Amino acid sequence: MKADKKRIMRYLKTSKGQIEGIMRMVDEDRYCVDISTQVLAVQAILKKANHEILKAHIDGCIKTAFKNEDKEEEKIDEVMKILDKYYNI
C-alpha cells in the first residue's frame, strides 16, 4: 500500500477510540441522539481513511497498470466494485 500509513493509522486509531467511547455510552444508557452523533463522527473518520487508501490505489496501482498496459480493465473493475459498495448499488 502506497498510502500515507501514519495518517491512515491515526484515522483508524481515532475511530477505534471513538467506538470504544460509543460502547461505553451504550452501556451507560446515554441519550440516543448523543450516541448517534458519535456514530456519525466515526463514519466520517473511516470515510477519510478509505478516501486516502483509494486515492493511493488510483495514484499507484491504477496509474502503473495504465502505463504498462497491464490489467487496466481489472483495475477499473476493482474500483467500480468499491464505488458500488460505497453508493449501495
Query: What percentage of the chain carries pLDDT values higher than 90?
Result: 57
Q: What is the pLDDT of residues 31-64, one digit of tens each?
A: 999 999 999 999 999 999 999 999 898 888 888 8
Of 21, 88, 10, 2, nearest in space to 49 by CA: 10
Q: Domains in the chain, ordered, with CATH? A: 5-86 (1.20.58.1000)
Secondary structure E strands in 7-84: none
pTM of the prediction?
Answer: 0.81
Question: Quick one: cell of 26?
Answer: 451504550
pLDDT band at residue 83 under the 50/70/90 scheme:
confident
At residue 89 the predicted structure's pLDDT band, cuts being 50, 70 and 90, is: low
CB crowding 12-26: b at 16 or more within 10 Å, else e: eebbeebeeebeebe
pLDDT at position 68 is 82
How does the average pLDDT of the chain come out, rounded? 91
